[in-house]
Structure formats: structure tokens, C-alpha cells
A and B are shown apart, each in its own frame.
Chain A
Amino acid sequence: MSIEKTIRLTLNGEAREFDVTAAESLLDLLRRSGLTGTKRGCEDGACGSCTVIMDGLAVNSCITFAFQAHDREVWTIEGIGEYGNPHPFQKAMVERAGVQCGFCIPGIVLAVKAMLDEIPNPSGGEILEHLDGNYCRCTGYEKIEDALHETIAETVGEEPLWTR
């Protein structure tokens, strides 16, 4: 019998309280709260579809227990950009046709946002390091790379360090 306890966190910029059990994953908590943009993929921390940002770092919500988010700041895809004002990477993904089936895209957007918040003009090695946990089975990554390159160029206002 799992005991329910209350946790507090800042979710997409808003202070929230949730009753959670010890068994509940952060992914389950988010999805039952209506934040279904966070996708359930492999459920063992390999594919990155469930990526959220916790205290500034990309993490797999499927293998993070909900209680681990207590007193932390969590961002999901619902908190990134708006329809009329998307994040630069979201905009570039649309313009560069980086989205096919779309299932992996929320996780990729979150992983890219966490990286660019920390390193606005990452090197090729830093990009590989930050995105090695996100699978895309449709695009072959090329269009996503196009979008990332364009985003870096536009947001830093100079040529990306990373050359394709």
C-alpha cells in the first residue's frame, strides 16, 4: 500500500502542490495533471521522449520519481513558448520541417532549451553531449540539426561554433 504525501514544486513558473505516492514517476504526475506533451516512450531512460527540465537540467521524467521534484523547478513543453510566440528552436523546427511524427519533439525541444540556456553557442562536442539522450526515429536528425544550427545563428547573432 503506497502512502500519499504532498509535494510542492514550481511547475512551468507556477507554484503547485500535488499529492503523490512514492511509486509515482514524475512522468505519471505530469500526464495525470493534464500536461500530456511530455511523452511516454521507452520508460527506462533511454529515448528522451519524456524529457523535462528540472532545476535547469534536462532529465528523464520516466525514471524520476515524482517526490524527487519536491521543492524544485520543473518545466515541461507546455511552459515553453506560445502559439504566437514560440521558442526560437520551436520556430526553426517548423520552418526547417524538423517535425515528422512529432512524438519525440517535446523531449528534443526541452533538451535543446536546457542546452542553449546554459551554452548559447555550443561546440559540436557539447551538442553531442547534451543531445545523446534523445532519439528520433523519423527524421534521421538532419532537419533537426538544420533547425538547431539556425536557432544558434539567430539567437547569438553570430556564426555558430558548430559547423555542420
Chain B
Amino acid sequence: MTFEDFLIPKTLDEAREALETLGDRGYALAGGTAFQYVADRPGATAVDITRLGLRGIDRTADGFRIGATTTLTDLVRYRAEGWVLDRVATRIPTHQVRNISTVGGNISRLFPWSDLPLALLVLEGRVVVSSDEERTYEALEFFTAQPLNRFGPGTLVTAVIVPAVAPPLGFGFKKESTTNAAFSLMTAAAAITLAGDRLDKVRLAANAALPVPMRLTEAEAALEGRPADPALFEAAIERGMAGLEWHGREGMSDEFARHLAAVILRDVLEEALRAAKGGAE
């Protein structure tokens, strides 16, 4: 995208006011790396939101609050019990991009290959949005539509909240790409909460071969309440994938995309189950 003007506000209020005044000509810009995929619009003005004090990760009572302009490298470097987003961020290429791309930017404009939203969907993360008032959205609600299109001018994502992950909650994540620096051919994520030897809660999501990252709710429903037995995964995945159109990327046929999805979805469920059991096989 070619911008015609730019503003560099120093406070959240200044940034919101500028975006409100600019209306649909105003674009909040953090890392800015996604704008190369956005079509030009006359009069487009970038509002740099990287100096508003929205960067950093805070440990909360039950998880983590991540400021919107926290970079993907910050996610990779952060270490704490129950922190799993380093595993996701490190697979988003490349190092130079991770150094400047932000959490807020990564989730505000969805692409088929968006990886971070998958993790938020399965971990049931929340997104804090600031307009005239602050409102917190469940990830599932936030990602039901292209986030940028559903909020009015002057509305900004200010933080993301994720739980700490520890047994009986387990997390699984896997991404396939042609090279380390390429976009995802297929990424899947899963979270499983155990209740004794049963699957109490299952969250499963995929992207890349789907138009946007999405949860496979039919598969989740097929597993919840059932024994924690990986032998049940294949049939549940098949049920969850039915009705969704899987599209191959970068020379991959649709048929192979569907096959790859089934394999990776099973991998992440198995990984999440192992983690939910505390790493035991």
C-alpha cells in the first residue's frame, strides 16, 4: 500500500483521535509488514502506533497480558511457566520480520496463513479493544469476521490475553511450509483439557488451506466427554473437516491439502493430549 501521509502520535488518546478524524482513510500501523499485501486507497494515512506504551508482556494471576505492539521476537524471547506462544512466533518468518511485526498487527488483519490467531482460538484467548470504552472479546468472537472491517475508526486492539498452559491443559501446534521462510501450507493448533481420563474440553483449529483461521467445532464436539484415547481422533477429525473447503497453496492440490490437514490435525491433538497428561505417553 502507498500511504500519502503519516502521523506519529505519542499517546493512545492521540492515536485514537487521529484515526477517528481520518475515518476510512486512517490506518493504524505497528510493524507495517502486512501493508505490502493491501491495495492502495486514495488519501491513505498511516498512524504509527508503536510509541503508545503498548509493548510488553505481563504475568497475570492466570495467564499473560500482551500489549498490542509487543513484537513477535518479544514472544519468542519471553520465558515463563505456562508460556507457549514462543513456539508459535518462532515459526512466523523471518527474524527480521519478527523483529518488527506485532501481536496486534498479526491478529487485526487476517490472512489465510495467519498463525497467531490459531493459538488464540484454541487457547480461548481474549482481545482487548479500545474505543470510547475498553471492551474484551473472546477470540472466537473477535475472529468471526475480518477484525479490521468490523470496528469503527478510532478503535484499536490494545492487548491480548492468554492463559498459562499447564496440565490438565495441553497445547499442540504444527506448521508445514515449503521452506522456513515461506508462508504456511498448513498450520494447526489444538488445546485439550482433561478431566481424569476423559477429554473435558477440546479446541482444534487450522488455517492456510482454509480462507481464514477457523475452529473445527464438529471435531471438538465429537471428542468432548469421550475417553482420552488417540484412537478416537481420526474419526472426529474427518467429521470436523467435512463441509469445509480445503484449498492447496503453492502447487499443492486441494486433495493433498485435505490429506495434509488430516495428518497435521491428528499430530496436534496427540501433542496436546501428551502435554495435558504432563508429557506422559
Residues of A within 8 A of B (CB): 1-3, 5, 21-23, 44-46, 48, 51, 54, 57-60, 63-65, 67-68, 70-71, 111, 129-133, 135
Contact = CB atoms under 8 A, between A and B. Distances in A.
Given A3-B5, A51-B96, A59-B96, A129 B36 contact: no
Interface residues of B, number: 27
B97 A65 contact: no
Contacts, number: 88
A133 B181 contact: yes
Contacts of A65: 3, 6, 29, 32, 46
A22 B45 contact: yes
B41 interface: no
Given A22-B6, A22-B46, A23-B3, A46 B94 contact: yes
Most buried by A among B4, B45, B50, B96: B96
B4 A133 contact: no
Nearest to B46: A22
Contacts of A132: 93-95, 180-181
A2 B46 contact: no
A21 B4 CA distance: 7
Nearest to B95: A133
B52 interface: no
Nearest to B51: A71
B100 A64 contact: yes
30 contacts: A2-B2, A2-B4, A3-B5, A22-B3, A22-B6, A22-B45, A23-B3, A23-B4, A44-B36, A45-B36, A46-B94, A48-B94, A57-B99, A58-B96, A60-B97, A64-B32, A65-B46, A67-B8, A67-B48, A68-B32, A68-B48, A68-B100, A111-B95, A129-B90, A129-B95, A132-B180, A133-B95, A133-B96, A133-B97, A133-B181
B5 A59 contact: no
A37 B66 CA distance: 37
B33 interface: yes
A124 to B, nearest CB: 14
B158 interface: no
